[in-house]
Amino acid sequence: MTTAFIILLLPLVAAASNLLLLRKKANFSAFVSTFSAAICLVLTFGLIRQDDLNNLGSFNWIKIADLKLDIGIELHGLGLGMILVVTLIGFLVHLFSLGYMREDAGKARYFSGLSLFMFSMTGIVFADNLAMMFIFWELVGVSSYLLIGHWYHKNTAAEAAKKAFLVNRIGDFGFMIGILLIWGSFGSVNFVEIEGSLRNGNGNYDKGLLNWSVFCIFCGAIGKSAQVPLHVWLPDAMEGPTPVSALIHAATMVAAGVFMLTKVLFLIEVAPTAASVIQYVGAITALIAALMATQQNDIKKILAYSTLSQLGYMIMAVGFAGLLSGGEVLGEKASNAGFFHLYTHAFFKALLFLGSGAIIYACHHEQNIWKMGGLIGRMKVTSFTFLIATAALAGIYPLSGFYSKDAIMTIAANKPLLLVIGSFVAFLTAFYMTRLCVVVFFGRARSWSSEEAKEVPLLMLVPLLVLTIGAIFAGQTFAYSWFVPSKDIPHPEGVVLPLILTAIAVAGIIAGFFLYRGRDQEPYPVQVLSRKFYLDEIYIILVRIFQDAVAWVAKQIDRLLIDGLLVRGVARLVTEIGSVLRGMQSGNLQGYAFLFGVGVILVLYIINAAIG
């Protein structure tokens, strides 16, 4: 049992024991989960210091003939960065939850779900083959389903959980096809082996099919990282407890799509068509989500759309891996830029969500920003951390977001259109975050709940402060160089691009500040944005047509045609024939005798004819 396997399995053990043994002792199960998360964090630091990252352990899951599916562990540089993000933020969220969920009736269930999530997410990071990644991919979907639906008695939560799972399943449908196409072409699903046969030119693949498989694999990322057109589940997922939103729907799980793309980088490099699809999907998501974020009123929804938009950035950057630039594909440079943003984003976005959790907790579960206000005086520490995170997200020097946004824009500069979109999104980001902060922290309290708000307990402040340190310093070389060398992350040449980007961000902040200062309600309502381009409504209609209507027709066919015409029809036919033959059963003795005689004569005649 290697260290890595312990990191993988410990949360599973915690989840199982919580579910089976400790349901009655909620506090103890919370302790078990948090403790397992702490141990995983410590072990991760051990893993980072470990020199030899080969042979981290492997377990044969399925073996039939040529098919060999393993649960094996492979960690290259980015994997180390990702596992640190997962265990560190995971642990902090456990800590925060101890306070946030203190009085919840389903506490044991909640912590089982968290542990299950830690297990599944670790599995995705560790996966050394596509099949294993898919397994844990599905499992994070389940834990997300369980946690979004934590307050299952609320109809909205139950619906949101279902929606998240189903939308993800659609993405997974594509992902699985991609995996199968790869398996068909290369006869293996192991990353190292596929890369090997791709480099050696083995395997019977053709270019077109490879593009399709990369596109299909990307569908998995579309679902999990909530890209357009499958982004609709993420805002609804905010029905879950806020710490869950911080961990799953901001920092880790939704970033899994980006991480997965960096793992199949070698495939994207040779599939330029699919790669440009990835870029555009990312860019469109970033744009649309940022636009929608400007008009939301629920504090968590704003952050959710902001997450969508940042994920779009990352996906777009990774998509550039397949772009030819100066006779060479951008490859690792692009994916490192995307991952770098994932890494810094995890800190400040988790911080924003936990901060909003603290605010919601303090405001008696009020989530509407127009009912808050003036919180900066009542919750000093929380406000301070929240503002730092906002600045990092807006990309203000020298916070972490500045560096990672620079890296992405350096890559995006290869396609002017995408650079323009990216810059506009940067402006919108600064704008809507400023709007949020101005409305929530400044001005006057707009309801009793925000008047009575007071600072949250220490247990919840500690994670905020730790994450603030991350949000400030994660962009510095010393904070990331241990998993990816500084030279491998693209930096803008000269100071022009950073200056322009900073100017854009400042412009966004100024615009947001002056437009929303002193307002008590939305001054410029834009229906189409606050209703999210009516996409939810359109999807509902599509589901009505393509699922419910088809299902209804199928049921009618089943009832009328197969059951009615075929089965009943056969039954009717048999009955009809029977009633014809029934006429011969007259009950008349002499009739029977007559028929008997005719029969005898007939038999005699036939025999005679046969002999003669």
**Nearer to other proteins (CB atom), residue 41 or residue 160:** 160
CB of 133 to other proteins, least distance (A): 11
**Nearer to other proteins (CB atom), residue 184 or residue 525:** 184
CB of 104 to other proteins, least distance (A): 14
Which part of the chain contacts other proteins (CB under 8 A), choosing from 46-54, 62-70, 96-104, 403-411?
Answer: 62-70
Omega before residue 498 within 30° of 0, cis:
no
Cα Rg for the chain, rounded, in angstroms? 31
Matching residue, tokens 């990216």: 422
CB of 270 to other proteins, least distance (A): 16
Which residues does residue 70 pair with via DSSP β-bridges, in sequence order?
A: 60
149 binds other proteins (CB under 8 A): yes
Which part of the chain contacts other proteins (CB under 8 A), choosing from 2-10, 39-47, 531-539, 558-566?
Answer: 558-566
Which residues does residue 62 pair with via DSSP β-bridges, in sequence order?
A: 69
555 binds other proteins (CB under 8 A): yes
Tell me the H-state helices in 363-491: 375-378, 380-394, 400-412, 416-441, 448-451, 458-473, 477-480
Rounded to whole angstroms, the Cα distance separating 332 from 320 reads: 10
CB of 107 to other proteins, least distance (A): 14
Under rule CB under 8 A, which residues in 30-59 are in contact with other proteins?
Answer: none
Matching residue, tokens 């961990």: 247
Q: What are phi and psi of 418, to 5 degrees?
A: -70, -35
CA 193 and chain centroid, separation = 27
**Nearer to other proteins (CB atom), residue 71 or residue 93:** 71
CB of 407 to other proteins, least distance (A): 34
Q: Please state, in angstroms and as integers, the Cα–Cα distance from residue 305 to each residue in 82, 134, 282, 408, 512, following that order.
A: 22, 26, 14, 19, 17
Residues 303, 309, 311, 315, Cα dihedral to 10°? 180
DSSP string, 17-52: HHHHT-TT-HHHHHHHHHHHHHHHHHHHHHHHH-S-
Please say whether the dihedral angle defined by the alpha carbons of residues 168, 170, 174 and 176, taken in this order, is positive or negative: positive
169 binds other proteins (CB under 8 A): yes
> What is the amino acid identity at position 391?
A
554 binds other proteins (CB under 8 A): yes
Contact 405, 341 (CB under 8 A): yes
229 binds other proteins (CB under 8 A): no
CB of 543 to other proteins, least distance (A): 9
600 binds other proteins (CB under 8 A): no
List the structure tokens of 151: 């307050």
Please say whether the dihedral angle defined by the alpha carbons of residues 486, 491, 494 and 498, taken in this order, is positive or negative: negative
Q: Please state, in angstroms and as integers, the Cα–Cα distance from residue 236 to each residue in 24, 50, 165, 267, 459, following that order.
A: 31, 41, 11, 33, 28
27 binds other proteins (CB under 8 A): no
Q: Please state, in angstroms and as integers, the Cα–Cα distance from residue 156 to each residue in 30, 53, 366, 548, following that order.
A: 26, 45, 16, 21
173 binds other proteins (CB under 8 A): yes
**Nearer to other proteins (CB atom), residue 324 or residue 570:** 570
Buried b (16+ CB within 10 A) or exposed e, 390-400: bbbbbbbeebb
Identify which of 121, 123, 120, 322 has the alpha carbon closest to the alpha carbon of residue 217.
Answer: 322
454 binds other proteins (CB under 8 A): no
CB of 218 to other proteins, least distance (A): 16
CB of 214 to other proteins, least distance (A): 15
569 binds other proteins (CB under 8 A): no
Omega before residue 525 within 30° of 0, cis:
no
Total site size for other proteins, rule CB under 8 A: 68
Under rule CB under 8 A, which residues in 85-144 are in contact with other proteins?
Answer: 131, 134-136, 138-139, 142
CB of 209 to other proteins, least distance (A): 7
How many residues comprise the chain?
Answer: 612
List the structure tokens of 400: 């972490």
Q: Which SS3 state, helix, strand or coil, does residue 481 take?
A: coil
Identify which of 510, 528, 484 has the alpha carbon closest to the alpha carbon of residue 78.
Answer: 484
Q: By CB under 8 A, name the one of 28, 31, 35, 61 that touches other proteins.
A: 61
CB of 186 to other proteins, least distance (A): 9
Q: By CB under 8 A, name the one of 458, 567, 604, 607 that touches other proteins.
A: 567
602 binds other proteins (CB under 8 A): no
Which part of the chain contacts other proteins (CB under 8 A), choosing from 177-185, 469-477, 481-489, 494-502?
Answer: 177-185
**Nearer to other proteins (CB atom), residue 161 or residue 352:** 161
Those residues whose C-beta lies under 8 Å from the C-beta of residue 373, and which sit 6 or more positions away, are 439, 440, 441, 442, 443, 444, 445, 446, 450
**Nearer to other proteins (CB atom), residue 420 or residue 553:** 553
Which part of the chain contacts other proteins (CB under 8 A), choosing from 320-328, 491-499, 527-535, 562-570?
Answer: 562-570
CB of 120 to other proteins, least distance (A): 9
Under rule CB under 8 A, which residues in 196-225 are in contact with other proteins?
Answer: 204-206, 209
CA 399 and chain centroid, separation = 26
Q: By CB under 8 A, name the one of 65, 495, 496, 609 that touches other proteins.
A: 65
**Nearer to other proteins (CB atom), residue 531 or residue 582:** 582
Q: By CB under 8 A, name the one of 25, 76, 102, 162 that touches other proteins.
A: 162
Which of the 8 DSSP states describes residue 230?
Answer: S
List the structure tokens of 135: 């397994």
Q: By CB under 8 A, name the one of 54, 200, 527, 590 that touches other proteins.
A: 590
CB of 559 to other proteins, least distance (A): 9
585 binds other proteins (CB under 8 A): yes
CB of 569 to other proteins, least distance (A): 12
540 binds other proteins (CB under 8 A): no
Q: By CB under 8 A, name the one of 503, 526, 542, 562 that touches other proteins.
A: 562
448 binds other proteins (CB under 8 A): no
Residue ranges in contact with other proteins by CB under 8 A: 19, 60-67, 69, 131, 134-136, 138-139, 142, 149, 152-155, 158-159, 161-162, 165-166, 169-170, 172-173, 176-177, 180-181, 183-185, 187, 204-206, 209, 547-548, 550-555, 558, 562-563, 566-567, 571, 582, 585-590, 593-594, 597
